Amino acid sequence: MITHDPEERRALIGEYLLGLLSEQEAAEVRQLLEEDEQAARMALEWERHFLELSDQLPAQTPSPALWPRIRQSLGLHEAPRSSPLSNWWNSLLTWRLTAAALAMALLVTVLTPLLRAPDIAGERYTVVLQQPGEAAKPGWVIQVNRDGTLQLDPLVADQVPEGRALQFWTLIDPADGPRSLGLVEAGQPLRLPAEQIGAVQAGQLFELTLEPAGGSPYNRPSGPVLYIGRAVLASVN
């Protein structure tokens, strides 16, 4: 039922917030809002839109029969017409404050997990590490997540000579020189935390070099470059 078309998805979220969907459709949209950042932002836009429209409505006095009908639809006993509870519900100000409170509750429920999640702050990057030269055969792929964590995955099963090691490097500013990200086991994936990677930007250089066992004795690569590539901003789905 959930569509990938942005306009259809936006309309569907609007219908959900207005209570126009079936129970099953509403459950699917709720799950989408919990898992999809863009969908949650659409919900926020709709809420702002609805509140702006509410502020533009002229003041209306609710019908005296409105509260009894509400109670009847909820299966409640009718309250005395002159009770404070009835007067409370008949207040236009109360209606608007209640609508605003419900809208705020929905926004807190939907957006709090996203605001707490660190992956909102950054961008996603992809790097394809290729062999230098004309062949440019890809051998490894890097995914940098929005929370800054890096995942390095092999595409080929390299054989490292005995007494040698693969070392992982990155370079942002040539004036600062390359920075080692540690040793890599041939043919094995590697996951590094954001604290070790630092901020990543488009065009940032990554490479794997062949070094002595234990890594380069210098603060720069000392062996040949086996794979090299630059970070590219990943498309947002």
pLDDT at 116: 39
Determine the Cα–Cα distance for residues 206 and 227; give it in Å rounded to an integer: 8
The mean pLDDT value for 193-211 works out to 94
Determine the Cα–Cα distance for residues 224 and 154; give it in Å rounded to an integer: 18
CB 168 within 8 A of CB 190: yes
User: Is 165 a residue whose pLDDT tops 90?
Assistant: yes
Q: How many Cβ atoms sit within 10 Å of the Cβ of residue 28?
A: 15
Determine the Cα–Cα distance for residues 15 and 3; give it in Å rounded to an integer: 14
User: Is 41 a residue whose pLDDT tops 70?
Assistant: yes
pLDDT at 111: 44
Q: Which residues pair with 213 in a beta bridge?
A: none
User: Is 202 a residue whose pLDDT tops 60?
Assistant: yes
Q: How many Cβ atoms sit within 10 Å of the Cβ of residue 214?
A: 10
CB 237 within 8 A of CB 209: no
pLDDT at 121: 53
The mean pLDDT value for 110-136 works out to 65
pTM of the model: 0.50
Residue 13: HSE in the Cβ half-sphere, 13 Å Cα cutoff: 29
Report which of 88, 125, 101, 83 is spatially closest to residue 230, judged by C-alpha positions.
Answer: 125
Among 20-34, 71-85, 116-130, 154-168, top mean pLDDT goes to 154-168
Determine the Cα–Cα distance for residues 115 and 122; give it in Å rounded to an integer: 12
pLDDT at 92: 47
Cα Rg of the chain (Å, integer)? 29
Q: What angle do CA 126, 196, 218 make, to 5 degrees?
A: 100
Strand stretches in the chain, DSSP E:
125-130, 138-144, 150-154, 164-171, 179-184, 190-192, 205-212, 225-230, 232-233
Report which of 3, 68, 71, 72 is spatially closest to residue 39, judged by C-alpha positions.
Answer: 3
User: Is 215 a residue whose pLDDT tops 90?
Assistant: yes
Report the residue count for the chain: 237
3-state secondary structure of 76: coil
H or E segment and range at residue 96: helix 92-116
